[in-house]
Amino acid sequence: MASVVGSYGALAQLAQIVGSWMADRVIAPRVLVLFGGCLIAAGHIALGILPDFVGLFVGLGLVVVGTGAFKTNLSRLMGIIYDDNPEWEIRRDAGFTIYLAATNTGVVIGPFLAGIFQSTWGFHAGFAVAAAGMFLGLAQYAAVYKKLPAASSILVHPLQRSEIGKVIGAVVLAALAAAGLYFLGALDGETLSTTIGVVVVAVIALYYAVMFASPEVTAAEKTRLRGLLPISLAGLIFWGFSFQIFTTVPLFVTSHVDLWVGGWRVPELWFASIIAIGSIFLSLLASILWNRLGERQPSAAAKIVIAFALTAIGFLSWGLAAAFSTKVPALVLLVCLFVIGASEAFIGPLVLSLGTKCMPRKFRAQGLAVMVLSIGGGSVLAGIWGTIYTAMTPSNFLYLVAAVAAGCAIILASVAGRTLTLITTFD
């Protein structure tokens, strides 16, 4: 089962590359968003009504394909809306900050509602409420479908008949590579994480190489790509910190946290949700602040530095609490994790905003997917951090993470000016 879950996560990330490629070359992004949402809903229905492993594989398969079509292209539509309304450009970061807050709200509410229905009426009800939520989202999307900008129905780089053979060859090659990895044991439960990490890094590197080499990418676009490289790397490293909510945090909570406040036991689920709650809270505040500041808001590079600084503060505070107490009070850890979650409000929206604005026109959706793929790489880094955690005392480990985050903030601050110059270069 662990290998199935790991494979699902990996495929959901990599499917976004395929979905974004299709949006650039085969099917318009607004159509893919609608199609992807329907597949996700159908996947949850299949999980609820089909028996045993048939339901598992059919349901997860539909969700993976749907996620590939839906997720990155929804962000692309956001970018198209701002591209179509130049007077709104100064609000782009604020808009994506609200978008991130909405996404994280779903991260918190979705499992909560599905969990209630599952525990009360069984798994069928849990999957049914997930499908119902998706259908509600699709209903409001359908209501504004015809109001989307015309650019959302245009392919930026249509696939030519002469290229179909190359596409088929690439698909066959990818299938053979996957089969080879399977027979070599690289897709087993114990090695899957490492394989995913290598594939994610390879895909990111390959796409940047293709974009830099493409004659259809202008000199100004290549200049912006050089500025996006350190931002992509920063995103990968950042989510390696953030995704420790799934690795080191559960280990720490199990052994080093006093869950009792008076006579009440803090639910362990709270520790899994608090980072998203912190992100939601500060995202809403940040969106208001960016709108009010307008052109006086911090630069893209400065926001990323703030994100790493807050992360360092959160882990340092957590480390100090662990050093001075054998059992850290639950509320203290929740505050530390809240700060770490709040940092996402400064970098998460920015990765999406810059991806929709600065990627080469011929690779706009695919380039955005490459930026988003840094999240997948971050989950692998979180696993590596989890391995390091088991070899150190908790406080020393947390000090190490804080030091790395602070070091990243310092390095990024030192290159902020150059990065800003590169990403603001336009034809």
pLDDT one-digit tens code per residue, 286-318: 999 998 888 888 888 889 999 999 999 999 999
Contacts of 243 (CB under 8 A, 6+ apart): 378, 379, 381, 382
Q: Could you tell me where the beta strands, DSSP code E, fall in 288-408?
A: 328-329
What is the rounded average pLDDT of the residues 11-40?
91
User: CA triplet 391, 393, 394: central angle to 5 degrees?
Assistant: 110
pLDDT score for 122: 81
pLDDT for 394: 93
Mean pLDDT calculated for residue range 38-58: 89
pLDDT digit string, tens, across residues 356-393 = 888 888 888 888 888 888 777 787 788 788 889 989 99
272 located within any domain:
yes
Question: Which of these ranges, 21-25, 228-232, 277-281, 308-312, has the smallest mean pLDDT?
Answer: 228-232
pLDDT class of 51 with cuts at 50, 70, 90: confident
Q: In the structure encoding, which two tokens stand for residue 159, read together? A: 């696939």
Confidence class for position 343, pLDDT limits 50, 70, 90: very high
pLDDT recorded at residue 326:
86
Per-residue three-class SS string for 170-193: HHHHHHHHHHHHHHCCCCCCCCHH
Mean pLDDT of 337-357: 91
Q: What's the whole-number mean pLDDT along residues 109-138?
A: 86
Of the pLDDT bands very low, low, confident and very high (cuts 50, 70, 90), residue 426 is low
Chain mean pLDDT for the chain = 88
User: pLDDT (tens digit, 9 = 90+) per residue, 199-257?
Assistant: 888 888 888 999 999 998 999 989 988 888 888 889 889 998 998 888 889 889 988 99
**Rounded Cα–Cα distance for residues 389 and 395 (Å):** 10
The reported pLDDT for the residue numbered 325 is: 85
Q: What is the mean pLDDT of residues 62-67?
A: 93
- pLDDT for the residue 405: 97
Which segment of 154-158, 275-279, 308-312, 423-427 scores lowest on mean pLDDT?
423-427
What per-residue confidence (pLDDT) applies to 7? 62
Share of the chain above pLDDT 70, in %: 96
Q: Which residue has the higher pLDDT, 43 or 269?
A: 43
Is position 411 within any domain? yes
Range of the domain at 305: 2-153+168-423
User: At residue 353, what is the residue type?
Assistant: S
The answer to whether residue 197 is domain-embedded is: yes
405 burial (CB, 10 Å; 0-12 / 13-18 / 19+) is: buried
What's the rounded Cα separation, in Å, for the pair 257 and 264?
Answer: 14
pLDDT at 138 over 90: yes
Judged against a pLDDT cut of 90, whether residue 140 lies above it is answered with yes
- 13 conformational bin, left if phi > 0, alpha if psi -120 to 50, beta if neither: alpha
Domains identified in the chain, total number: 1
The answer to whether position 158 is within a domain reads: no
**CATH no. for residue 91?**
1.20.1250.20
Q: Is residue 390 part of a domain?
A: yes
Closest Cα to residue 42, out of 23, 64, 10? 64
Distance CA 107, CA 276 (A): 7
Distances in Å between the Cα of 138 and the Cα atoms of 104, 134, 229, 310, 342 are 18, 6, 34, 36, 29
Is 269 inside any structural domain?
A: yes
- How would residue 2 be classed by pLDDT, with cut points 50, 70 and 90? very low
Q: Are 370 and 207 in contact (CB under 8 A)?
A: yes
Kindly state the percentage of the chain with pLDDT values over 90.
41
Report yes or no on 71 lying in a domain: yes
Q: Is residue 161 part of a domain?
A: no
